[in-house]
Amino acid sequence: MLKRLLIFFVIHLLVITLVINTYSEASESPWDVRSMRNGQTILVLKTGNVTYGDTFMLVLENKNGKCEQIQESFTFYTTTQNTEVKAIEGKNIPITFNELELYAKASYVFPFLLGHRVMFSMGSYGVNEYLDYILKYEIYAITIVDENLSARVMQPHLIKNFKATDYFDVPNNSWDLKGVKEAIVKAQKLCLEYKESKIS
């Protein structure tokens, strides 16, 4: 009996250790820098700490031999049974970013697995300006929040009386920003190589 209890305890200890190590590796996972369109577009990606499949994404595109702009976006996966989830596409959704109250545009909503994936756009910025801004933070934490728009109902890009949990079963996620500068510098260098390959 004592032997069985000892084996039971050791197995549970191993499982707990594995879970902790897996979470630690996920939160400290390196940035994924990918090339698209023969190197004209470079993606910088990071997986989420809460919902692993949610992605924080930065995009650089070579335009006329320059890679000076960076686009910021993130995705949220939802399995809510709300059949109107597609209706948020093109709307500005209230969020908090590290406690700042902002809006994120729900650029795309598309079916994915047992639910939907929503891509949110946070805009486009100069690379140096963006680095100055993002390096102030150690984590990129997003929460989709409720908003009562009864006084501003005439604005078509907002949703009246928006309730986050009507559309998102897990309305928050975060991404660690350690190494983001190095990832952006690498991405910009790769982006500029597209110009060099076209000239030669």
pLDDT in tens, 110-161: 999 999 999 999 999 999 999 999 999 999 999 999 998 655 555 778 888 8
Domain match, 14 and 99 both: no
146 and 172 both lie in a single domain:
yes
Q: Are residues 19 and 61 in the same domain?
A: no
d(CA 62, CA 93): 29
- Reported confidence tier of residue 162, pLDDT bands at 50, 70, 90: very high
- Statement to judge: residues 92 and 175 lie in one domain: yes
Q: Which helix (H) or strand (E) holds 6?
A: helix 2-27
State whether 13 and 44 are in the same domain: no
Identify whether residues 85 and 107 lie together within a single domain.
yes
Cβ atoms of residues 42 and 190 within 8 Å: yes
* Residues 157, 144 share a domain: yes
Higher-pLDDT residue of 118, 22: 118
Q: Judge if 9 and 39 occupy the same domain.
A: no
Task: Report pLDDT for 19.
Answer: 37
Instruction: Pull the structure tokens for residue 130.
Output: 């963006």
Higher pLDDT among residues 154 and 102, named by residue: 102
**Can you tell me the distance from the alpha carbon of 38 to that of 153, in angstroms, rounded to the nearest whole number?**
45
Residues 1, 41: one domain?
A: no
Task: Read off the pTM.
Answer: 0.80
Q: In a 3-state reduction of DSSP, which class is residue 144?
A: strand
Segments forming the whole domain that contains residue 64 = 31-199
Same domain as 73, residue 11: no
Task: Say whether pLDDT at 8 is over 50.
Answer: no
Number of domains the chain contains: 2
User: What pLDDT is stored for residue 66 in this prediction?
Assistant: 94
Phi first, then psi: give them for residue 127, nearest 5 degrees: -60, -50
